[in-house]
Structure 1
Amino acid sequence: MRILVVFLVTMLSTVQSGDHIPRVLTGNWSVGMPYDLGQPVGLDANQEKKIKGLNVHISGGYIEVCGKSIPVKSVSVETLSAKQFLERFNFSPVQVGLRGLRVTEVIINKYHSTNTCGDFEDPGSHLFVSAGAVVMETGNDYFPLKRR
């Protein structure tokens, strides 16, 4: 009982936003090849190479990536229509494998990025979920995630 109380207090103090990481995102993920959208990206070839094949572990309280554990300090979850996605990101969600009428955008630690893996934001902190697909955005590059 005492361990459960300590765990709950720790979890409540870690996530400060009203939203929580959607359960579908928790677990171990492998990062695939970036989608070619024909638009400028913020990563160079060396950074892309470093991200491809990364393993990302997402839990309710931490993201583990590049051998480090990053506490979750805030979570924002928003559901977008395909039209809203297009207006916000200037490409169709279908171009990055997101299908269906709605896409869920999840931003973890929006104002608390630690650049754990180098010169770019923490991989796994900006995610999109739709029917059967999870996509990660890092440095304006979009990568499919596959469950390990």
Structure 2
Amino acid sequence: MFETLTGDIQGPLEVRGMVKVDGTVRGGAIVSNGRLELRGKVQGPLEVRLDGQADVAAIVEGDVHARGGTLVFRGIITGRLGVKPGADVQVAVGTVLNGRRLEADGSFTQLQPPIELSIRGDAPMMRPQEDGSWAPAA
């Protein structure tokens, strides 16, 4: 059963169980051996480690690090996306990474502020490849 947190959450939030967040996490979040479902905003880095699982539809004001586990992301990352070998990462088409929108062909389009986000719920998912390219997540 999920623990549900809403509103402003003072972090860094360490997730080791099953946690749903609908709000703003201040100070970042670390998902180790748990599951995080987040809708809202993270002010600070987001990190997925070990066997952690994160399903995120949010604005992350900072870097996102997938050091292991599974990350499914829809939204905006203002910093960098780092993916270590062994991490399973899927990013929705339309997601904005450091001011650039991910397109369905794996390319990026540079955006000018203000950035408006519109990602369909059934948007195709892409996986980052070791060579820096992006491929459909079949």
TM (norm. structure 1) is: 0.24
Structure number with the bigger relative contact order (C-alpha 8 A, sep ≥ 6) is 1
Structure of higher CA gyration radius: 1
Q: Which structure shows the higher helix fraction?
A: 1
Q: Which structure shows the higher strand fraction?
A: 2
